Chains A and B, each alone.
Chain A
Amino acid sequence: MTGWERFTDSFFNARVMAQYLPKIIEGFGLTVVLALCIIVSGLIAGIGLAVLRAMGIRPLNWLIIFVVDLFRALPPLVIIVLLFFGLPSAGMELSGFASTWLALSLVLMAFSEEIFWAGITSVPKGQWEAARSTGLGFVQTLGHVVLPQALRLTIPPLTNRTIAITKGTALASVVAVSDILGAAHSGVSHSFNPSPLTLGALAYLVLFFPVVILGRWIETRFAWKR
């Protein structure tokens, strides 16, 4: 076999690819579901924390800042491993899916709180005072005056951060989840051929390439006018 034949036979083997395509497609679905779960719960928790922080209760704010710092400093894989392999020693079992979901939601919560908070503080104090003096309550001011202005500012960094964190779903394969990478990796060990990995990589490109382009577009679309 020439070098080229060996290359195509290894990485683009049609027979192996056809055999493992269904598994990869299943993994694709799982990755999408996992990513969506993380985005929903992470962003809701993030905005919740930012709103709590806006109420300005000192000790509570220290706690929020600590939690945010904690999940910004810890590598996501360490959190996943801790939840998946650590919790059973305390008699609590979390599935690989649940561990990854919880871990990455906490990470997204931390990063998005930071971004939402930066957005909220960027709204001038006068806006708060003016809204409150017209008789709006705290929640009304936040919901109708501050957040609409704050969110626009947060969209570009939030998009990029969310993309980066959802790519972390591939880490789920470490805790035995059959997501794209998990399915591809087990395909390689069953077929002794790395073509499933090529398929897996292509699946990730199909999933994330449009998202990365979208992120780039949003960045220019919402760019802060200097």
Chain B
Amino acid sequence: MEDFLSAFLNWDIVKEASPILWAGLRATLLLSAMVVPLGLLGGIILAILSTLPSPWVRWPLRAWVDTFRALPPLVLLIFIFAGLPFIGLEVSAWGAVAIGFFLNTGAYYGEVLRAGIESVPRGQLEAARSTGLSAPQTMIHIVLPQAVRNVLPDLISNTLEVVKLTSIASVVALPELLFQARQAQSVTYNATPIVAAAVVYFILLWPVVRLLSKLENKQLAARR
């Protein structure tokens, strides 16, 4: 027990590693603040494009979305980070993460938002257009707000997954929370920094998980 505590929950090591973990947490938050809007932007573009009736848009779009849903995000990230320099495109870790997340999370947000847009009754769109709103105005003021409300739990769940996914940036040496914890672990030969990082992730994301649980139960109750 004593050994276990000193290897996993060593308070001295927590104190020693706290500055570096704090720097990691800030990078993780910054990274999340970068990739979530980026993914949402990609998602909105894809969702709006998917409303176009032309098969010349629909099928390539579906292939695009399914490709990036089928590729594991880490594969995409490594491909960008380790592959692109060979054709002279040197990308930083931040750049590679930004591109990878734009492609991957954009596809996921796109699917969620598409379902949301499809859930808005067609009459809403027709009514808006007949009052003289243009197509973009209808999309922004009438369709998207209702679409977002209808798929809010899925949007939140997706965002939770994106924030968790930022941990893979550690693989390309971006100094976020998990990377810093690994650094601290290899210096101290002690697992405490990784446990501490896990605790930080948990404290950060537990409220979101609770909220989601509540929303899901409510959704289910409404279906019954």
Contact = CB atoms under 8 A, between A and B. Distances in A.
B213 to A, nearest CB: 7
A146 B48 CA distance: 40
Most chain B beta-carbon contacts within 10 A, residue among A74, A75, A169: A75
B178 interface: yes
Contact of A73 (B67, B78, B88, B206): B206
Interface string A82-99: 100111011100000000
Contacts of B4: 90
A72 interface: yes
B74 interface: yes
Interface stretch (B51-59, B92-100, B135-143, B182-190): B182-190
A208 B76 CA distance: 14
Query: A interface, how many residues as a size bin?
Result: 35 or more
A174 B206 CA distance: 26
A10 B88 CA distance: 10
A81 B82 contact: no
Interface stretch (A48-56, A135-143, A193-201): A193-201
A57 interface: no
Contact of A89 (B7, B78, B165): B7
A78 B209 contact: no
Contact of A75 (B82, B178, B217): B178
Interface string A16-33: 000000000000000000
Contact of A173 (B74, B161, B165): B74
Given A75-B201, A78-B178, A201-B71, A118 B216 contact: yes
Contacts of A194: 79, 82-83, 86
A78 B167 contact: yes
Contact of B87 (A7, A77, A173, A205): A7
A212 B75 contact: no
Nearest to B217: A118
A204 B78 CA distance: 13
Interface residues of B, number: 55
A193 B189 contact: no
Contact of A171 (B66, B161, B168, B205): B168
B220 A212 contact: no
Contacts of A171: 74, 168
A193 B82 CA distance: 10
Name the prevailing secondary structure of the B interface residues: helix
B149 interface: no
A151 to B, nearest CB: 15
A76 interface: yes
B109 to A, nearest CB: 14
A201 B75 contact: yes
A168 B206 contact: no
Contacts of B8: 86, 89-90
A90 B217 CA distance: 40
A13 to B, nearest CB: 10
A10 B86 contact: yes
B191 interface: yes
Nearest to B186: A85
Contacts of A204: 70-72, 75
B210 interface: yes
B79 A69 contact: no
A209 B83 CA distance: 22
B210 A69 contact: yes
Nearest to A87: B191
Contacts of A11: 83, 86-87
B168 A77 contact: yes
Given A76-B164, A89-B190, A209-B70, 12 more contacts: A69-B213, A78-B197, A82-B194, A85-B185, A86-B185, A114-B213, A164-B161, A167-B72, A188-B82, A198-B83, A208-B72, A209-B66
Interface of A: 3, 6-7, 10-11, 69-70, 72-79, 81-82, 85-87, 89-91, 114, 118, 121-122, 124, 164, 167-171, 173-174, 180-181, 185, 188, 193-194, 197-198, 200-201, 204-205, 207-209, 211-213, 216, 224
6 contacts: A11-B86, A77-B167, A77-B171, A78-B167, A82-B194, A197-B79
